[in-house]
Amino acid sequence: MNFGLIIIGDEILSGRRQDKHMAKVIELLAARGHALAWVRYIGDDRERITVALREAFASGDIVFSCGGIGATPDDHTRQCAALACGQPLQLHPEAKALILERMRDVAIEQGVPYEPDRADNVHRLNMGVFPLGASLIPNPYNKIPGFSVGHVHFVPGFPVMAHPMIAWVLDQRYADLRSPEHAELALYVFGANEASLTPLMEEIEARFDGVRVFSLPSVDHPERGLHIELGVKGPPQAAAAAFEHLQQALAARAGLRIQLAG
């Protein structure tokens, strides 16, 4: 199964907030032997969110959606999830209990009466309105849960909440999932351009089954200057053989200097 990530919010696209989710999700997945296959950034637009979630449900991938599950006018993810999976929205009884518990905790902390029937507190219950059949994702920060529908998992946009919730899903739902073994090997090439290396890259991908080649040119690196980071990735045995072939082919070319990437 592939892992995907959807990051929702106008504030990310406008630059008011910097995305902190992608790097952390890559880290969380890598620690468990997995890799991120794709990422989508979407603003607070119901139609676009619904389309993206419909595709996520249909993909069969494990997808994490960050943001938009609150109860303010710019939060649309819960409603879009219901439309995308074809289920009605309903107040989840366990989510209701957790939200009421959070209200009680806040009242005690602030030294004010606990008033669950007050209008603003009644409105807060909307944060527990999820598509029918959804399961909860516990929130260790403030108890307000996220939710899962199949393999699509919805968490808040706040990194302090989202990241431990994603870790919980990985450990509770996918602890036994094993991604195929994967190796990535690279070197730095000096004195060449991508065009001259393209036939070699194509040859390697055609010759070594399951191996993909990557090329990352840099024109102003502070230490290495003009160079290309050239590498292979794929099943360990095939990647090792492809990398050996790559090194031999480059060593046979005049005027090139190569250095193993750290």
Alpha helices, H only, the chain? 10-14, 21-30, 46-59, 77-85, 93-110, 119-124, 159-173, 194-207, 236-251
- pLDDT of 113 reads 95
Rounded average pLDDT over 220-228: 92
pLDDT digits (tens, 9 = 90+) for 12-24: 999 999 999 999 9
Answer yes or no: is pLDDT of 262 > 80: no
Helix (H) or strand (E) holding 234: strand 225-234
Cα–Cα dist 180/238, whole Å: 13
Lowest model confidence (mean pLDDT) among 77-81, 124-128, 131-135, 221-225: 221-225
Cα–Cα dist 223/175, whole Å: 41
Lowest model confidence (mean pLDDT) among 20-29, 58-67, 248-257: 248-257
* Average pLDDT of the chain to the nearest whole number: 96
- pLDDT of 179 reads 83
Question: What percentage of residues in the chain have a pLDDT greater than 90?
Answer: 95
Strand partners, 232: 185, 213
| Ordered structural domains, the chain, with CATH | 3-173 (3.40.980.10), 183-260 (3.30.70)
Cα–Cα dist 79/77, whole Å: 5
pLDDT digits (tens, 9 = 90+) for 175-208: 999 888 889 999 999 999 999 999 999 999 999 9
Rounded average pLDDT over 91-103: 98
Radius of gyration of the chain (CA): 24
Contact between 153 and 65 under an 8 Å Cβ cutoff? The reply is yes
Cα–Cα dist 102/110, whole Å: 12
- pLDDT of 180 reads 83
- pLDDT of 202 reads 97
- pLDDT of 227 reads 95
pLDDT digits (tens, 9 = 90+) for 50-85: 999 999 999 999 999 999 999 999 999 999 999 999
- pLDDT of 144 reads 97
- pLDDT of 138 reads 98
